[in-house]
Chain A
Amino acid sequence: MWLYLAKRLIFMIPMLLGITLISFVVIHLAPGTPVELQTTMNPKASLEAQKRLKELYGLDKPLYVQYWDWLKRTAFLDFGRSFSPDRRPVWDKIKERIGITLSLNLLAMILTLAVSVPLGVLAAYRVHSWFDKGTTLLVFLGFAMPSFWLALLLILFFGVYLDWLPISGLTSLQFSQFTLWQKIQDLVAHVALPVLGAAFMGLAGWSRYMRGSMLEVIRQDYITTARAKGLPERTVIFKHALRNALLPVVTLVGLSVPGLIGGSVIFETIFAIPGMGQLFYQAVMSRDYPLVMAELVIGALLTLLGNLLADVSYALVDPRIRTG
């Protein structure tokens, strides 16, 4: 097992290199440069000034030199300085936001699990019943739901029509004057809608997967045995079946990473949450190359780790999967 893990970790290095190389080339070869973007707004910027700006950003060197320089720095977690006027180190910008995005996604994931597991189990237990058909319909709705429309509907219903919840930002303006209890309330109210939205987006896939996994387990001999022993149905389902059906679901946690990353961009932009997704959107719009590259690397790393988690947990759960 450890050997397998080590092998997989080493295998991640060429993957990451390939991803960064492709991203770097694609981003830098796209027409238009950040220098143009910053100087077209200002007619006074002379060619001389453009040249200076280019040198400052290191964009005057050949592309392979730029990539090599970038790679050397990135190996030591130095993502360079942002191209934005404040010129702050990219890592500082990311550091203050990554916690927000990760915790929101974690909350959403917990919520998704809490709803989809019982839903999937019940649908499998009463297969082909009305309840099962209802959840199937919900699944089709969930798969077709555009995340940004869901966010708008949530805002419309809870924010505008009922006027219960704030619709943007992470805290209220008077946040610093609040007592601790008020602060907690304020935060919960602000994150409620984005978390609800992100949780719903995962619901369809997870409950479908849970249902399939449960159906598989219920057919097994040991379930028949447990029933034959005269155990109460509740024990059979929740103790014998659910435990085994839950194991493969772990892999889904790993595989849902890319979806969550994409969702973060949408939800954070709509709800004005200062997280990684919003930062990426801003970076892309202002052609902040170092920031865009840093986010792509972190995104790719999270995706790779997610895949690793999925494979490793699968191998742990199912000894038939070769790990050699």
Chain B
Amino acid sequence: MSAILEVRDLRTQFDTLDGVVRAVDGVSFDLARGETLGIVGESGCGKSVTALSILRLIPPETGRIAAGSSIRFEGEELTGLSEQEMKRLRGHRISMIFQEPMTSLNPVLTVGTQIAENVTRHLGLPKKAALARAVEMLDLVRIADPGRRVYEYPHQLSGGMRQRVMIAMALSCDPQVLIADEPTTALDVTVQAQILDLMLELKEKTGTAIVLITHDLGVVAETTQRVVVMYAGRKVEEAPVEALFDNPLHPYTRGLMRAIPRLDVEADAAGTRPRLQEIPGLVPLLTRPIIGCAFAARCELATDRCRTTPPPFVDAGGGHIVACWEAKP
């Protein structure tokens, strides 16, 4: 299957008072047509910046995608496109859903207007037809009484409904790629499951490929086919989802797995469960260039080589790759 999105050596940097922050530092991955790819990592690892970089939404006053980065969508290089050409792509062929449904919708415009303007902009439908499309989309994301809801404002909807509206908006022009940045983080657990199921179901219907960005390994396990694990702006591991959970190779991925609470581990005679293990240490400062492996300072396996030379990717077979000197595939 050919990749619809190919990201190569993406480097996104921000100017801050403390110096240049290398938020994304040489990340590469492919997204196949109709695939669901998870990008996981903790806060500040560059997941969201990766997503914003793909749509070229990095605020130009403070940040930039460094030269040499490549983002190809259906074979077309996005880093070289003009802002006008990008505007035609955004919301039409690549769309995005954000984390906070509470603040991501415009409070003074009806949800119908916000969906319809997308349709008018990209598909050229007249207002009336665009509004009809908005009703259709609300129905598709299973909002009851969509004919009335299109005339409502975001504050009249619950958090879950707002995220459904965001999804309806993002899918209104049948995009080939949907980037979902922590789409369920701000929602109740039961609503989370509904939203994820809805996204997967709509993906089946429309064939849209999804990049799902999350810090929640549970979400990854349930919804994605392949996973990219990021740490400190770099990709450290990439694998099909089963392979990653069965056999995590990078010490960081293993650390993440050990930090997941489990219900299937029996309590001992005294009624205590094994303590969850945190990863010792802190994420490195991104204002300084990281020599060697970014995780070396927190890694129990780290050697001198790890601290001086960045590890190459090792192929463990079956599309499972890991950037670690010490990993034994």
Bound pair (A, B) = no
